[in-house]
Amino acid sequence: MDALSLLIADHNRVRGLFARFTAAEEEENVPEMATLAQKIITELEIHTTIEEEIFYPEIKAADEEIKDTVDEGVEEHHVAKTLIGEVKLLTPDDDAWAAKLKVLIESVEHHAGEEEEEMFPMVRKAFDKAALEDMGARLEALKAQLGAPVAADKEHLTTDELKKLATEQEIPGRSSMSREELVATVAPA
């Protein structure tokens, strides 16, 4: 899978977690919020790491405009990591815990949107298909090394099972995803 599709799959998986966290908050289901918060933090830590270790350094060398979006992206990651660090010092019964998670969610939604709408289209133009596939393979390898689920962990699932998981996980855009996109996006059950 190419690097951009892989990163977008990560974004959509975490968007599903955000939707579920927001719903759990409306229901005041604190245990569910706590479970989802842990998943959100793990996803974001892995995603920012693979972007910063592999994707950002490689794309920023391509041209000045991409470099500017990477510099902004690094600062947005910094904001997310700071909030994550603060959330970890709190417990769900603290009022600031949910407030910080809500700000984290809003800021990551904005950041992921900017990557997809501004950065990724420029990267798509600057790199050929083979280069993006190669980068995707290295991102996937680093995810595996960090202990995150990768496509190979989900290939055994039937398309119906993948669709069911995507629905449970509230993955946005799931109805128009190919099997390959579903495999990349869903979290294993």
Smallest distance, Å, CB 71 to Fe ion?
12
Interaction mask 5-24, Fe ion, x per CB under 5 A: --x-----------------
Residue 121: CB atoms within 10 A of its CB come to: 11
Interaction mask 58-97, Fe ion, x per CB under 5 A: ----------------------------------------
Smallest distance, Å, CB 169 to Fe ion?
18
Smallest distance, Å, CB 8 to Fe ion?
8
Residue 148: CB atoms within 10 A of its CB come to: 19
User: Which CB sits closer to Fe ion, 47 or 163?
Assistant: 47
Q: How far apart are CA 46 and CA 117, in angstroms?
A: 22
Query: 3-state DSSP call for residue 2?
Result: coil
DSSP assigned state of 98: H
Q: Which one, of 165, 141, 148, 117, lies nearest residue 41 by Cα?
A: 148
User: Which CB sits closer to Fe ion, 30 or 137?
Assistant: 137
Q: Which phi and psi angles does 90 have, rounded to 5°?
A: -110, 170
Interaction mask 114-143, Fe ion, x per CB under 5 A: -x----------------------------
- Helix (H) or strand (E) run with residue 146 in it: none
Of 42-61, binders to Fe ion (CB under 5 A) are: 51
- Contact footprint for Fe ion (CB under 5 A): 7, 51, 115
